[in-house]
Structures are given as C-alpha cells and as structure tokens.
Chains A and B, each alone.
Chain A
Amino acid sequence: MSDHHDHDHDHDHDHHPEAPSEVEARALALESLLVEKGLLTSEEVDRIVSMYEHDIGPMLGAKVVARAWLDPGYKQRLLADGPAAVKELGIDYPPSTQLVVVENKDGVHNVIVCTLCSCYPWPVLGLPPTWYKSAPYRSRMVREPRAVLAEFDLTLPEDTSVNVWDSSSDVRYMVLPQRPEGTESWTEEELTAVITRDCMIGVARPRVPAEATS
C-alpha cells in the first residue's frame, strides 16, 4: 500500500466514522442478549450514554484549572493529590485510576498521549476525541511531538522542553496550562472560557483575544 492509500484509509475511519450497519447490528444484538439475560436494562444503557454525553466533559477540567490559577493553595493541593483536589470542587473521581496533573511552566510544555490504547482522564475531560485515539496521534506524538504540535498550530521554542506523558499505567495525566498574560483581572468564569480540552491535553495553549486583555 502506498502512503497515500494509508492516509485515506485512516482518514475514512478516524475522521468520518460511518458505521457499517453490520457493526451496529452486532452491538444492538449484544445489548438485547444482555437485557434478555437480565444483566442490564435498556434504561441503564441510556443512563450511561447520557452520563458520558452530558455529565462529564472538559468543562470540569476547566473549572479545576481556573481555580488553580486563582488560588495558589488549591494549585499545590491539585499537584500533590489530583483526585482529592477535584473532589473539593464536587467532581467525582472514580478510584479505578489516579489523576496526576502536570504543570506547564516557562521552558516546560507537557502533552499527554496513550500509545498502547486510549487512556485519558475522562472523569475530568470527558471522553477523548477520535484524533486522540487515532493511529497518527498515538504513533507520532512520542517520536516527533513538535511536528504534531505544529499541526495543531502550536510551535514551541527550541529551548522549551517538550515533555510527553505516555499514559501506560493506572495513572491518568492532565496538563495544567499556564495562565495567559493579560488575564490578571479576569473572573473565574472568564478564565474558564479560554481553558479548552486541547489545552488540558497539551496540544494547545489558552488563547486570549487581543481586545479582551485588560
């Protein structure tokens, strides 16, 4: 296969997932079988789907980051014990994994990946985007992080250390981005608005529109 073909292959499947009806049929058949066996109900399935769609998402992580920017004591607690610190803000963190927050600083930029599967801090960021789970991101982020970040329009100085965290254990990593200059007088709500999912993965930095700086 040529590179071009590989590219299209991946593109078709990771970018425009059109489920073959056969997969959908298999999924629904397995659901029916488990319902029939009394192991779950379709209401439970709907409830779980709704939880992933509505109750969790990057708005949780953004709240954590904004609080850490505003409250140095909170930031220290967050860096020392992620699950306990997010619980302070009412975010439920399940005990099956640990949360470790890694801090961006002048000269240090962190970014997360899972090369072996798709580990991601979903209790604070929601489910990962398809690109995070895709072969291009998983294969390249550890080997050529600067090239991948450039595709996300993020170019870092040569002397900035890019630290890639390959999430291979029961630990889930989340990036604490740097607070942008010009936001000194901003409220927590205003700060939250510039903290995107991609900032907390580490493929972006918070962007402040020029006219919004104080």
Chain B
Amino acid sequence: MRSHNSKRMNGVHDMGGMHGFGPVHVEVDEPVFHQRWEGVVRALMHKTNGRYYNLDEFRHAIERMPAEDYLRALYYERWLHAVDTLLQEKGVTTGTPPAPAPETARPPSLSARFKPGDQVATRNIHPGGHTRLPRYARGKRGVVRKVYGPFRLPDANAHGDHDAWQPCYAVEFAARELWGAEAGAADKVCIDLWESYLE
C-alpha cells in the first residue's frame, strides 16, 4: 500500500451524503465470511484490539489509507491493513511485544453541559486527525435527545491520549437542516456527538 497520505482526515471514509456510489447491492443468503481469510482477519482483530491498540487507533489506521486504496479494497482487506500497520507501529510484530497498556478507569460521571431538549450547534471544524464528527453535520443546528457517557474522546484516544473523557449526546437534526429543501419535511438524522463538537 502507498503511504503518501498525511493524517489529515477529511477522508473518503467520511461518506455521509456523497454522490456517485450507485444503488445498494444486496447479496442474497450472504455467508458470515465468504472465505476463510476473512474470518482469520476478523479473529486477528478480535484478539489484538484492546490489547495492543484501541478501536479509535484501528479506525484511524483505516482512515490513513490513501483514498484510492480505501475505495478499491475489500472490507476485510482494510481491516488487515489496519491490524498489520498497528502491530508494526506498536512493535508487536517488529520487535518485542510491548506490555498491554493499562486501562484507564471511566470516571463515574461528568457534569454534562447540555441536557435533553437543548438547542446546540456543531462546530465547523476540520481536525487534522481522527474525529467522529461527520463532515455532513458540521456547522449545523440540532436538538439534544439523549445524554451518554462519559466516553473517551476519539480525537484524543486515536492519538495517544487515552484519558480524555467527555459526555456524548445523541443530537437530532432536521433532515432539511442537513440537506436542504429536497429532504423530507418530517425526516430526521440523529448523530452521537461528543461535547467538544458542540457549541
């Protein structure tokens, strides 16, 4: 795989709203794994995720793939790329396996800035690394429906800071706020967003 990509993350993985991918194809009676290697990759991830890397690092390793490779790759080929990349970067396959990182404890509660029913706006930000604020939902107005967490902030957890906890909110957006007048008047999109994505 090429590695000309920087870590900047307005990536092709952030697909919400994109045109050009055509209709959804459904495979009838699809098996769980089409071939044994797919199951092997799943199992390798199952076994190493949480021990040598976390899920945000895993997602970011996929997002760091050059866009053309990401689009061309099979689903489990992306997973294989991420597991392989991370196990090399963490020294697991290239040297002495490191001791598993100690788990940081979830804080029992954090005071949440917002409550259900609050009007919020998403920040118009374009972070340089991993984020879970989809591009289609930046700079938009919505309403808090549920309060979750605290969860680790993915933007930090993917980049070495595993102790950045934040409240997270299910924020409901009118479809027309996101997509304009063509969207259904009664339709909504609900996205889970960390507190620092909101203002």
Contacts and interface: CB of A to CB of B under 8 A. Distances in A.
Dominant secondary structure of chain B at its interface with chain A = mixed
Contact of B134 (A6, A116, A137, A161): A116
B84 to A, nearest CB: 6
B130 to A, nearest CB: 10
B19 A139 contact: yes
A27 B37 contact: yes
Interface string B35-79: 111111111101110100001000100100000000111111100
B58 to A, nearest CB: 9
A37 B75 contact: no
Given A33-B93, A48-B42, A168-B192, A151 B24 contact: yes
Contact of A131 (B16, B24, B93): B24
Interface in A17-61: 17, 19, 23-24, 26-28, 30-31, 33-34, 37, 39-40, 44-45, 48-49, 52-53, 57
Contact of B184 (A10, A126, A140, A158): A158
Contact of A135 (B15, B33, B47, B84): B15
A170 B192 CA distance: 9
Interface of A: 3, 6-7, 9-11, 13-17, 19, 23-24, 26-28, 30-31, 33-34, 37, 39-40, 44-45, 48-49, 52-53, 57, 96, 98, 100, 115-118, 126-127, 129-131, 133-140, 142-146, 148, 151-152, 158-171
